[in-house]
Amino acid sequence: MSSINTNASAMTALQTLSATNKALNTTQGRISTGFRVAEASDNAAYWSIATTMRSDNKALSTVQDALGLGASKVDTAYTGMNKAIDTLNEIKVKLVAANGASGADKEKINTEIQALQSQLKAYADGATFSGANMLSTSSGAGTAADIKIVSAFTRDASGTAKISTIDVKVENIKLFEVGANKGILDKTRDATGAAGAGSAVSAIALTAATTDAVVGEHLQRVEAALKEMTTAATDLGAAKSRIDLQKTFTSSLMDSIDRGIGQLVDADMNKESTRLQALQVQQQLGIQALSIANGNSQSILSLFRG
């Protein structure tokens, strides 16, 4: 039936063309943004997951920076500790040379020891990075605060975020502690080198009257300090290695999260470009079909011509 009031063909063609235009707009949007899920309305679940993962990746970027800063702090302390060990070994050599030496020679050796002790303090005081110094502290209470380095940002199955840290126990590393004298080099040691009444490595002094027995006691103190410093250097080296491993892992994790986000929201440009060409053809055909459908109404006029 032909009707001038209702053009069913035109209505069908218009609906088809509208659907094609909508799909075309969607495809063009994906091509221009590179995302198939750019807004929550595109896919609420995927958008929510991707948004959370992007936020976590920003947090991981901050963790990466914190690890870099922490690595610099530990590396500074590690360098200072190694130089201090070398210097204390020099003091050990001087004490060995002092054994059996004349009084005059002991005084000369003492001058060298005093210079080396000053160098030890300089190394400890200079091992500062970004306001943190693990070798020379001034807690005054005898217990130095740990250095905490942010190492990870995680989220459990319930969505609860958690921050992990790599802790460096400064109490086991400090060489000097102003006000408490409980560092490896400034705490008093007995004749066997154990902590107790006696003298500190940093206070060792020789005079012309110093006996070989006293020199031997000083040597025991130096040996004990060297052992503790070697352990401290090992702890710092282990922390440095752990930080480096965590930095590598964090970088890989960030890349993995980026890939995961891409799997959820990125558009397949090959597929979208092919779809764009197909939709453009459909759009042209739809316009042509609508034109034909509208032309059918004009043909009814020919029925009334004489």
Residue range 113-147, pLDDT digits in tens: 999 999 999 999 999 998 889 999 886 655 678 88
* Residue corresponding to tokens 């979208």: 272
How large is the average pLDDT for residues 76-99? 96
Domains of the chain, residue spans: 9-34+268-299, 50-266
pTM: 0.78
CA 128 to chain centre: 20
Of the options 1.20.1330.10, 1.10.1040.10, 1.20.120.1770, 3.30.1440.10, the CATH number for the domain spanning 50-266: 1.20.1330.10
Burial class (CB in 10 A: 0-12, 13-18, 19+), 229: buried
Q: Are 149 and 243 in contact (CB under 8 A)?
A: yes
Phi, psi torsion values for 128, nearest 5 degrees: -115, 135
Residue range 140-182, pLDDT digits in tens: 655 678 889 999 998 888 888 999 999 999 999 999 998 888 8
Q: How many angstroms separate the CA atoms of 106 and 102, rounded?
A: 6
Q: Are 299 and 9 in contact (CB under 8 A)?
A: no
